[in-house]
């Protein structure tokens, strides 16, 4: 039998096990601060596959000098990152590969918006539903089962493989940074984020900011003489909205020239007031700002800060009571992939074998951990499954696409690891 047939059979035989594995991953509510249990589960699973594993907590002081380091506002105890290594035979000369995924998920939001419980994955009509199932526990299952299928098929690999699982992809990227900093590097890397079978060729940079507006409180009977912090914050949000239109009206970066609206500015959280008959004295909101590759995050911080302050001039209260503006979390550089690289070639060939069509490029308007690999000069991209409702209620993965992704990753592993360095 041909090698490809043996491999395909092996993936098929493991398919029910892969589905069960993904369901189990989806049952962990692995939001920020709650990553330990799922990491231990995965580590034990990889030990069962005879991989040599290591897991440890992120130490901010070790990684704070990297460009992509994000300033956290929380601790790192009991929130490990993990690497499981498959070692090729002594003397093998193939290329090594990292298959990475993040296990953190964003909050599920109000349960009433979900048709099924977000942490009890359910299969309906060829789709599996649950928070994080698409972003990106499906990709993680594909990574592990691609490797497992290769091993079970008895196909020899000439390069080392690492299965890495990290925290904080959704907020700083410090998890990926900690693993690479600790020496868990390789000749190439793949992150199977849900790109809908496209190769991520560029992505925007991202910063997070927090704006605190102060008013002058009063009982509601004197509200006309008070300064309502929520209403003042609303003015600042309107000004951010103008900033969003302004940056999208500028000349587009070449990689995003086909995109109708590449740069998103999102107000994602707002806190203000404590009682319906009080005029609120303080209101804080948090926003995420995107920008093109090649721009320094610090320049964007400066620009958006100046923009907001300038718009305070037209307000009698705000001009004398300027809002406090802080930056936290993401300090993420943009990313551009070299399309002439062996990594692009190897992955696009593998895609062609499975999908029977040329692969499409993805200029991505959000961030992923690829930028961290870029900082370590490791060739990297994202390629992963189809699905929908990412970061929204009723998130789902298309299971047929998950199987195709598993096959593509398996072909990619074999091709990459059997190329000489």
Q: Which is nearer to Zn ion, 229 or 372 (CB)?
A: 372
In which order are the strands placed within the sheet that holds 122-124?
A: 122-124, 127-129, 396-398, 387-388
Q: Which is nearer to Zn ion, 28 or 243 (CB)?
A: 28
DSSP string, 288-320: EEEE-TTS-HHHHHHHHHHHHHHHHTTSTTTTT
Q: Which is nearer to Zn ion, 43 or 193 (CB)?
A: 193
Q: Which is nearer to Zn ion, 86 or 330 (CB)?
A: 330
**What values do phi and psi take at 361, rounded to 5?**
-85, 155
- In the complex, the smallest distance separating the C-beta of residue 370 from Zn ion, rounded to whole angstroms, is 11
Q: Which is nearer to Zn ion, 7 or 189 (CB)?
A: 189
Q: Which is nearer to Zn ion, 135 or 181 (CB)?
A: 135
Query: Cβ contacts of residue 324 below 8 Å, gap of 6+?
Result: 211, 212, 214
**Closest listed residue to residue 138, CA positions, set 185, 105, 175:** 105
DSSP string, 235-253: HHHHHHHHHHHHHHHSPPP
- In the complex, the smallest distance separating the C-beta of residue 309 from Zn ion, rounded to whole angstroms, is 34
- In the complex, the smallest distance separating the C-beta of residue 136 from Zn ion, rounded to whole angstroms, is 4
Query: Looking at beta carbons, which residue is closest to Zn ion?
Result: 135
Q: How far is CA 119 from the centre of its chain?
A: 19
- In the complex, the smallest distance separating the C-beta of residue 115 from Zn ion, rounded to whole angstroms, is 22
- In the complex, the smallest distance separating the C-beta of residue 169 from Zn ion, rounded to whole angstroms, is 5
Q: Which is nearer to Zn ion, 309 or 390 (CB)?
A: 390
How far apart, in whole angstroms, are the C-alpha atoms of residue 41 and residue 137? 13
- In the complex, the smallest distance separating the C-beta of residue 141 from Zn ion, rounded to whole angstroms, is 14
How far apart, in whole angstroms, are the C-alpha atoms of residue 140 and residue 137? 5
Interface residues toward Zn ion, by CB under 5 A: 135-136, 193
- 3-state DSSP assignment of residue 132: coil
Q: Which is nearer to Zn ion, 135 or 375 (CB)?
A: 135
- In the complex, the smallest distance separating the C-beta of residue 167 from Zn ion, rounded to whole angstroms, is 12
- In the complex, the smallest distance separating the C-beta of residue 193 from Zn ion, rounded to whole angstroms, is 5
Query: Cβ contacts of residue 26 below 8 Å, gap of 6+?
Result: 119, 121, 128, 130, 131, 132, 133, 137
Count how many Cα atoms sit within 13 Å of the Cα of residue 16 in the half-sphere of its side chain.
1
Cα–Cα separations (whole angstroms), residue 135 to 30, 148, 193, 245? 12, 21, 6, 28
Q: Which is nearer to Zn ion, 175 or 188 (CB)?
A: 175
- 3-state DSSP assignment of residue 209: strand
How many H-runs (helices) and E-runs (strands) does the chain carry? 10, 19
- 3-state DSSP assignment of residue 205: strand
- In the complex, the smallest distance separating the C-beta of residue 369 from Zn ion, rounded to whole angstroms, is 8
Q: Which is nearer to Zn ion, 192 or 272 (CB)?
A: 192
Contact (Cβ atoms closer than 8 angstroms) between residue 311 and residue 303? no
- In the complex, the smallest distance separating the C-beta of residue 208 from Zn ion, rounded to whole angstroms, is 16
Query: Cβ contacts of residue 136 below 8 Å, gap of 6+?
Result: 101, 102, 169, 191, 192, 193, 194, 384
């Amino acid at each position: 039998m041909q090698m490809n047939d043996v491999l395909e059979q092996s993936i098929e035989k493991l398919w029910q096990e892969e589905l069960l594995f993904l369901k189990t991953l989806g049952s962990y509510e692995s939001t920020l601060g709650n990553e330990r249990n799922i990491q231990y589960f995965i580590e034990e699973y990889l030990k069962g596959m005879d991989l040599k594993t290591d897991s440890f907590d992120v130490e901010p002081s070790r990684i704070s000098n990297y460009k992509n380091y994000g300033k956290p506002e929380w601790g790192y105890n009991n929130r490990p990152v993990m690497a499981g290594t498959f070692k090729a035979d002594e003397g093998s000369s193939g290329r090594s590969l990292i298959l990475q995924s993040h296990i953190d998920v964003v909050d599920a939001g109000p349960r009433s918006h979900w048709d099924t419980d977000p942490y009890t994955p359910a299969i309906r009509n060829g789709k599996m539903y649950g928070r994080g199932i698409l972003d990106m526990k499906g990709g993680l299952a594909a990574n592990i089962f691609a490797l497992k299928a290769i091993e079970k098929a008895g196909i020899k690999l000439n390069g080392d493989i690492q299965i890495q699982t990290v925290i904080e992809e959704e907020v700083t990227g410090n998890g990926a940074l900690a693993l690479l900093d600790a020496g868990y590097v390789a000749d190439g890397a793949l992150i199977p984020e849900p790109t809908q079978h496209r190769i991520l060729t560029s992505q925007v940079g991202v910063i997070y900011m927090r704006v605190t507006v102060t008013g002058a409180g009063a009982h509601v009977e004197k509200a006309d003489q008070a300064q309502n912090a929520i209403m003042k914050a609303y003015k600042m949000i309107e000004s951010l909205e103008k900033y969003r239109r302004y940056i999208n009206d500028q000349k587009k970066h070449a990689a995003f020239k086909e995109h109708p609206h590449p740069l998103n500015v999102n107000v994602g959280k707002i806190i203000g007031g404590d009682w319906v008959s009080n005029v609120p004295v303080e209101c804080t909101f948090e926003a995420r700002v995107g920008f093109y590759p090649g721009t320094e995050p610090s320049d964007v911080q400066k620009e958006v800060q100046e923009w907001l302050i300038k718009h305070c001039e037209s307000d009698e209260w705000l001009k004398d009571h300027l809002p406090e503006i802080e930056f936290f979390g993401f300090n993420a550089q943009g990313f551009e992939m070299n399309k002439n690289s062996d990594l692009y070639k190897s992955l696009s060939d593998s895609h062609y074998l499975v999908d029977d069509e040329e692969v499409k490029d993805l200029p991505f308007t959000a961030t992923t951990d690829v930028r961290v690999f870029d900082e370590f000069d490791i060739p990297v991209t994202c390629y992963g499954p189809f699905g929908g409702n990412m970061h929204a209620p009723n998130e789902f993965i298309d299971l047929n696409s998950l199987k195709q992704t598993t096959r593509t990753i398996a072909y990619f592993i074999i091709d990459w690891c059997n190329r000489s360095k």
